[in-house]
Amino acid sequence: MNPCRRQHGFTLIELIVVIAILALLSVISYRAITTALDTRMAVARTNENLREFELGLFILSKDLKQMQRSPLPVGGKAFVLGNAVGNGKKALTEGELFRFYRSADAEMLRGITRVSYVLHDGKLTQQLSSPVDKQTFSTPVMGRIQSALVSLFDAQGNQPAVWPDGQIPTVIEIRLQHQRYGEVIIREAIL
């Protein structure tokens, strides 16, 4: 053998070092990819929750804008404040917030509709019923609601201590305590 002759190729140590570097790079890139995918899933979940919450606010606002003043079914009251103790004094964690009659629309395909909003098991539920056939349809509108406070104002901007049954408020304010988003205030002028 000729001692001056050089060998071509890599030594075992060089190959092991290269393999170790490649393994380290693959672990780092795997963690980055899983973090990016987890973040993407979290953002998608948050967007879905916000979309559902926004839809619930839209439904509630739409119902309040369609509040029916007259004509009402026999014995029907235009607006009734639910289980609240005084107007805007105590937040509810369970029970009916309020009920009223809504103008005719395409959803029920019958005259006016009685609308109730009930808070039960952390869900704000819309209950629609027809005065004609007494069928009731319940739809959860928002979840994760811890409490709700309803305040009603008359035409002079006053907030009476006790709201008279049947009288439609000029402005209704609903304060929802949401588990994720904190306090959400909805103010709707009733025209």
Q: Where are the domains of the chain?
A: 61-189
CB 148 within 8 A of CB 119: yes
Mean pLDDT of the chain: 85
* pTM score over 0.85: no
pLDDT surpassing 60 at residue 22 = yes
Task: Name the pLDDT band for 25 (thresholds 50, 70, 90).
Answer: very high
Q: Is the pLDDT of residue 108 over 80?
A: no
pLDDT confidence of residue 30: 92
Selected residue with higher pLDDT from 63 and 88: 63
Contacts 24+ apart (CB under 8 A), 126-134: 126/59, 126/60, 126/63, 131/73, 131/76
Phi, psi of 176 (to 5 degrees): -105, 130
Rounded-to-integer distance, Cα 89 and Cα 95, Å: 15
